[in-house]
Chains A and B, each alone.
Chain A
Amino acid sequence: MQKVIVGNHAVSWGVKLARTEVIPAYPITPQTQIVEELSEMCASGELPARFIKVESEHSAMASAVGASAAGARAFTATSSQGLALMHEMLHWAAAARHPIVMADVNRALGPGWNIWTDQTDSLSQRDTGWLQLYCENNQEVLDTTIIAFRLAEALDLPVMLVLDAFYLSHTSEPVDIPDQALVDSFLPKREAHYKLDINEPHAFNALVKPDDYMEMRWHMHDAQRRALELYPQIESEWLALTGRYYGMIEPYRTDDAETVLITTGTVTSTARYVIDERRSRGEKVGLVKIKMFRPFPVEAMRAALKGIPRIAVIDRNISPGNGGIFAQELRSALYGSDSDAAPQFNGYIVGLGGRNVTPDTINGIIDHVQSGETVDRPDIWVGVKA
C-alpha cells in the first residue's frame, strides 16, 4: 500500500506494524506528530498498545525501560532537549540490555531555543550503548523502524533511529506501507531473554563490584560489534521481502572516484543530486552515506574508501573544541588502514540549527576539497557570516 505521509508518520506506521506493546511518550517539537499519530492508533484500537502519557522524557525512557524489563516491546520518540533529559536512562536501558526502539528527530539544543535540525542531540548520546541508525527518506524511516526492533531484540540492545527535523519529519513523501503479515513474518513477537517473571524471580541491576563490572561492559560492547555482522543479514531478509536495502553504509558512484563526500541524513539526497550533476560533467566524484553510527562500521568504511585520494566529511553537528563528529570518527577509523596513500581528509561543518544545506553548499565543499587546500582539520565551517 502506498501512502503519502510525513516522516514522523512513517515512524508511527513502523511502530504500528511492529506490533509495539507499550509506548510511553512526551511531546516535543518536532517529534509530536509521531506520538499524536500513535495516540490516535491506540485510541482507535488499531494498535492494541498501552500508550503512557508520561510527564517527562526522563519518565518516558524510564517507563520504556520498565515495560521492556517486563518483556514487552517498547517504543518512544523524542528530540533534542528531551533526548538530553533522557541521558541517564539511555545508559540504563543499554546496560540493562533492554531492546527499546526510539526515534530521535534531530533538533538543535538550546540555548537559544531552536527547533530546527541538527545532529548534535543524538551524537551526544554516542557512548550510552545505543545503536544509532540515520535515515535519508521517509521510506527508509518506516523500514528502519521495523528493522530496528529486529536488531534490538536479537542483541538485547536499544536502537535509536534518527531523522532530520522538518526535512524528513514534516515532509510528505510517498511511502510503501508493507502488509502486516509481511512484517509479522519478519518480526515475530518478542521473546525476552531476561525478564521480570514472578515464576522465576531474579533481581536485576543490583550493585556490581569492580570484580564483574568490566566483564558486563565487555558483553555490551561485544553485542554492539555483533551488530556489524547481524545488521546486513537482517536487511537482506527485508530485501527479500520488500526489495529494499539500505546497508550500514551506502557508497554512491564511488567507483573510480577521486573525491568522495561523506554524508548522513537528508544532506545525502542533496549530495546525490550534486554528484549526479558533476558526474554528468565527467567529474570523478561520489559519496558514501553513513546510516549506522553505532556501532561504527569501521571495516566497511575502510573498504569503501580504499584508494580514494580526497575525502570531504559533511557534519551537521559540532563537538565544540574538536569539530565534526562524523569526521572524527571516520578519521580515527581510517588511521593506518592505507598507510601508503593517506587521503586528503577535510571535515566541513554545515547546517547547524537547521540552516539550509543546498546544492550550492555541497558544490562549494567539493570545489574546496578539490582545490587541494589542505586544512587537515575536521572543522572547516561552511557559510559562516563574516
Chain B
Amino acid sequence: MSQTIIKDRIPENELLMGGHLACPGCGGALAMRLVLKELGPKTIVVLPACCWSIIAGPYPQSSLKVPLYHTAFETGAAVASGIRAALDIQGQHDTNVIVWAGDGGTFDIGLQALSGAAERNEDFIYCCYDNEAYMNTGIQRSSATPWGAWTTTTPSKHPQATDKKDILAIMAAHRIPYAATASVSYPVDLVDKVKKAMSIRGTRFLHILAPCPPGWKFEDERAIDMGRMAVQSRVFPLVEVEHGTDWRFTMDPEHVPVQDYIRAQGRFRHLTDEQIGHISDAVDYRYEHLRDLAERSQAKV
C-alpha cells in the first residue's frame, strides 16, 4: 500500500503510554498500540502471562490507558468469558473485552480455555501476538516456533523439529464468526481486521505476528521489515475466515523468496540451503491449500 494513504486509515486514539518495558523494536508492543487505536477507550484487556506482563509495567504502574487485568498463563479466554458475562449483566454490551496473549498462552497452555470459549462463542476478541517462542522467559520453544528455529531449548544441533501449529485452522475449525492473521508490518490491514472484528459478536480471533529482535536475532530497526518479509515470503499469509468456511486473502503483496526471510534471522543461521528449500516447499504447500480454500469460498459466493 502506498505510504500516503496509510495515515488516514490509522485512528488517532493513543492508549499506550511510553516508558513501558518492551525491548527496543518489539513487535508485540507495537501490535498492542495499533490494536488499541482501533478499539478505543471502551476496552478491557485481559493479559495472561507473556512478555506483555512485563511490558505493561510493574505495580503501581500501567502502560495502558484502559483497564487491564493480569492473569494466570492459561486463563486468558476463561477470565475474558467471566468479564464479558459480568459486563453483559451490567448492560455494558458496547465495552470491548479483549484477551492479549502470547503464543505460549494461546498455542500451548491456554489452548484448552481458548477452545472452550471459542466453542461457546464467547463474545470477545482474542488477540494472540505471536513471537514464536517463550521470549519472556528467555527464548524457549513453543508450539508456535517454526521448524528449524533455534531456541534455548531447541539448540542449533537439534533445532525445532516440528512445524508451527496451525492455530488459525484450529480456530477456524471452531466455526467462530471471525478469525484472521495480521501483522504489525501491515498496519492498515491490521486495524481493518480489528474494526471488522468489532462489528461482529461472538468469539473473534486475531493471530498477529510480532517480530522479536532478541528472540529471532535480527537488528532492532528491521522489526517491520521482518514482519513484511514474513508476509511477502508467504511464511505468514494475511488471511481471514468467517464461520470457519469463508476464507479470503486480505493482502497479496509482492512475493519475496522464503530464503530472504530465513537468512535475515540469526535463529535460522544453522540451516542449510537444502533445509531452507524444505521450508519453502512447506510454505508453498500451505499457501496452495489456503488458496484452494479461498477459491472454494469465492466460488460459493
Contact = CB atoms under 8 A, between A and B. Distances in A.
Does a CB–CB distance below 8 Å link A and B in the complex? yes
A275 B64 CA distance: 62
Interface stretch (A142-150, A193-201, A235-243, A330-338): A193-201
B81 A89 contact: no
Contacts of B72: 62, 88-89, 92
Contacts, number: 165
A59 interface: yes
A206 B59 contact: yes
B80 interface: yes
Candidate in B53, B58, B79 with the most chain A CB atoms within 10 angstroms: B79
A66 B83 contact: yes
B58 A59 contact: no
Interface stretch (A70-78, A311-319, A366-374): A70-78
Given A56-B116, A63-B82, A69-B82, A208 B59 contact: yes
B79 A65 contact: yes
Contact of A58 (B59, B65, B66, B113): B113
B95 interface: yes
Candidate in A55, A92, A203, A212 with the most chain B CB atoms within 10 angstroms: A203
A89 B42 CA distance: 27
B69 A59 contact: no
A206 B112 contact: no
A132 to B, nearest CB: 22
B62 interface: yes
B38 to A, nearest CB: 16
B119 interface: yes
Given A52-B85, A196-B67, A201-B65, A66 B80 contact: yes
Contacts of A60: 78
A54 B116 contact: yes
B90 interface: yes
A158 interface: no
A181 interface: no
A205 B71 CA distance: 7
Contacts of B115: 55
B70 interface: yes
A356 to B, nearest CB: 38
Nearest to B65: A201
A121 interface: no
Contacts of A59: 75, 77-78, 81, 112-113, 116-117
A207 B80 contact: no
Contacts of B70: 203-206
B154 interface: no
B113 A208 contact: no
A204 B62 CA distance: 9
A67 B59 contact: no
Given A21-B89, A22-B89, A55-B116, A203 B83 contact: no
Interface of B: 41-44, 46, 53-54, 56-62, 64-72, 74-75, 77-90, 92, 95, 112-113, 115-117, 119-120
16 contacts: A22-B82, A22-B86, A50-B85, A55-B119, A59-B116, A65-B79, A66-B85, A92-B71, A196-B67, A198-B41, A198-B44, A198-B67, A201-B68, A204-B67, A208-B59, A209-B58
Interface of A: 21-22, 24, 48-50, 52-56, 58-60, 62-72, 74, 88-89, 92, 196-198, 201-209, 212
Given A59-B77, A203-B56, 15 more contacts: A24-B81, A52-B85, A58-B78, A58-B113, A60-B78, A62-B82, A66-B78, A69-B82, A69-B83, A69-B86, A70-B86, A74-B86, A92-B72, A196-B69, A204-B67
